Amino acid sequence: MSLNSYDLVNNVMQGSSYSSSKKKVLIVDDVPKNIDLLKDILAEHYHVQVAKNGLSALKIVALSAPDIILLDIMMPGMSGFEVCEHLKSEASTKDIPVIFLTAATDMEHEIKGFDVGAVDFITKPISPMTTLSRVATHLQLAENDQNNKKIIKKRTKQLDQALESAVYMLGDIGHFNDTDTGVHMWRMADYSAALAKALGWSEEEVELLRLAAPMHDTGKVAIPHSILKSPNKLSEEEWEVMRTHTITGHRILCKSSSPLFKLAAEVALGHHEKWDGTGYPHGLKGDENPLSARIVGMADVYDALTMERCYKRSWSVEEALNYIEEASGSHFDPALVKVFFSIQEELKEIQEKWRLKESVSGE
């Protein structure tokens, strides 16, 4: 190896934090002289582990995961391709960079190697400079990748927190001049999520609905205080104004193209529709009204019945469920009513959870 070649390798090694931290390199090869050669090349800079076949390699990885693997392709029993496929299929090992060791230089082997997840190839006979350079480079790339993932995870968490805060604020806006409390919004959101989960929605869909549900009354921000806080029964003219909160909420929320706010807009528009078509604002009948709106509409009524207000006592769970059952086929989707009844115990648990939170917070 020329002096310039050594300088090149040393520059790569010095530019990496790996040379000083003794990262672990696993060598997997069934030929002892190849193992000895690689150990001689790498031992000064890395902690070297050795496996003579694929199964042994997987056992070592399970006990003490290396930072990079140099993996022979042609081995008796389990081939290097099979070992790599197994590593890439497991969440705990899929990010370990794998460099294949091979005497073959044909395109077919390269395509297969990259397809199963390798990051590079070292061709036999093994060159010390090439080996050191590629190991150092891919360790540094792996470290950079992990750092980037941490940054992305942190920023994603920050965005999620900001989004959740925005949902809280929009929910509060909808009830700012109303008699409903913040607890009502989040309790009925939990009821909605429980019903969606029982219907077989995915975890992601359930969580989207849990966040979308509290925004169902966003449009009430445009309703006059005199109507929202009226102690008397509303006149027909006042009811006409009140009903516009569904359209206003939809108009506000549909300005976003995000899945969450699109769902919230859908819920805001349809949560007062009824199964028999006598609801508002559009008199939708049956499944003309989106399932999300039907779910939130039922959860909203159930929570309103079971919460105490200045003009009514709180109904028991049994009383509220009886009401919903009587309204099956008229106000509510009969299929949803059936599923709602199947989660009675969960509904009680949600109610108790929020009762305790209210007592602690003093709301």
Both structure tokens of 118: 């390798």
Res 180: pLDDT: 53
What does residue 28 show for φ and ψ, rounded to 5 degrees? -125, 110
Residues 6+ away with beta carbon under 8 Å from 151: none
Residue type for 176, please? F
Res 14: pLDDT: 47
Instruction: Indicate where the chain has its CATH 1.10.3210.10 domain(s).
Output: 176-361
Let me know the angle formed at the C-alpha of 17 by 11 and 21, rounded to the nearest 5 degrees.
125
CATH 3.40.50.2300 fits 3-150, yes or no: yes
Q: What is the Cα–Cα distance from 105 to 121, expressed in whole angstroms? A: 10
Residue type for 251, please? R
**Region 176-361: CATH code:** 1.10.3210.10
Res 309: pLDDT: 65
Q: What is the Cα–Cα distance from 122 to 70, expressed in whole angstroms? A: 9
Q: What is the Cα–Cα distance from 141 to 91, expressed in whole angstroms? A: 19
Place of tokens 């076949």: 53
SS (H, E, C) the chain: CCHHHHHHHHHHHHCCCHHHHCCEEEEECCCHHHHHHHHHHHCCCCEEEEECCHHHHHHHHHHCCCCEEEEECCCCCCCHHHHHHHHHHCCCCCCCCEEEEECCCCHHHHHHHHHHCCCEEEECCCCHHHHHHHHHHHHHHHHHHHHHHHHHHHHHHHHHHHHHHHHHHHHHHHHCCCCCCHHHHHHHHHHHHHHHHHCCCCHHHHHHHHHHHHHCCHHHHHCCHHHHCCCCCCCHHHHHHHHHHHHHHHHHHCCCCCHHHHHHHHHHHHCCCCCECCCCCCCCEHHHCCHHHHHHHHHHHHHHHHCCECCECCCCHHHHHHHHHHCECCCECHHHHHHHHHCHHHHHHHHHHHHHHHHHHCC
Give me the residues paired with residue 50 across strands: 27
Both structure tokens of 165: 């805060």
Q: What is the value of pTM for the model shown?
A: 0.60
What does residue 194 show for φ and ψ, rounded to 5 degrees? -65, -40
> Per-residue confidence of the chain (363 residues) as pLDDT tens digits?
443 444 444 444 444 444 446 899 999 999 999 999 999 999 999 999 999 999 999 999 999 899 999 999 999 889 999 999 999 999 999 999 999 998 877 788 889 989 999 999 998 888 899 899 999 999 999 888 888 888 877 776 776 666 777 776 666 665 555 555 557 888 999 999 999 999 999 999 999 999 999 999 889 888 888 888 777 888 999 999 999 999 999 999 999 888 999 999 999 999 999 999 999 999 999 999 999 999 999 999 999 999 876 556 789 889 999 999 999 999 999 999 999 999 999 999 999 998 887 776 655
Cis ω on the peptide bond leading into residue 97 (within 30° of 0)?
no
Q: What is the Cα–Cα distance from 17 to 30, expressed in whole angstroms? A: 30
Instruction: Indicate where the chain has its CATH 3.40.50.2300 domain(s).
Output: 3-150
Cis ω on the peptide bond leading into residue 281 (within 30° of 0)?
yes
Classify each residue of 37-46 as buried b or exposed e, where b means 16 or more C-beta atoms within 10 Å of its C-beta.
Answer: bbeebbeebb
